[in-house]
Amino acid sequence: MGLALFFHWRLIMNLRGRLSLVLIMATCVYAGRGQGEILSADLLTTRSIMERDWLQLKLEIMGLRLSFPAYRIQIELTEDHLILFTFLSSGGMAEHMSEAGRIETSNALTYHAEGIRDKVEQLIHDDFQELWTRFDSRADITGRFLVPGNNWDEPPQELAIWRDNRLQWIP
């Protein structure tokens, strides 16, 4: 009987330990969750924003979403009302482009520029209907392709530009 009582007591303690562990874990998981300090009424107010500012914000977000570890894309609306993208290649990508040759690099950069152009056109079409009626990607979108400088402290160098829907090399 003593041995049976010992095993019964051990089983209870084991279950109790597991239950305690589950309670501790649940407390840790749900401890960070609570009601936010932001009032729902504060989130329901209307904000007025100029179309230019809204477009600029959407373009900046698009550039972040299109960026990858091998390259960074910045898209902005210039003072001249031109959409300008800047494509900054990583050192590894720039090295690969120099090894691949001009034709393959031209194809790759054209592919990226056309993709950015298509995304911008879709954004204007979907979210800025009044702009869309007069939008011309040949005249309204331009870009530049940059590679890292030769030394650590040198600024990026311009490799090519995108103008009139075609790639132009910088001499």
What pLDDT, on a 0 to 100 scale, did the predictor assign at position 6? 46
Question: What number is the average pLDDT over the span 76-103?
Answer: 96
What pLDDT, on a 0 to 100 scale, did the predictor assign at position 137? 94
Nearest to 49 by CA among 103, 121, 128, 159: 128
Residue 44 three-state SS: coil
What pLDDT, on a 0 to 100 scale, did the predictor assign at position 33? 61
What pLDDT, on a 0 to 100 scale, did the predictor assign at position 111? 97
Question: Is residue 139 over pLDDT 70?
Answer: yes
What pLDDT, on a 0 to 100 scale, did the predictor assign at position 152? 83
Least confident of 32-41, 64-73, 104-113, 157-166: 32-41
Distance CA 56, CA 78 (A): 9
Q: What is the mean pLDDT of the chain?
A: 87
Question: What number is the average pLDDT over the span 42-61?
Answer: 94
Judged on CB neighbours under 10 Å (0-12, 13-18, 19+), 73 is: buried
Residue written as token pair 């003072």:
79
Least confident of 21-25, 31-35, 108-112: 21-25
Residue written as token pair 């090894």:
99
Tokens linked to 83: 């959409």
Query: Using 50, 70 and 90 to split pLDDT, how confident is the model at 5?
Result: very low
Helix axes 102-127, 91-100, angle to 10 degrees: 130
DSSP assigned state of 136: -
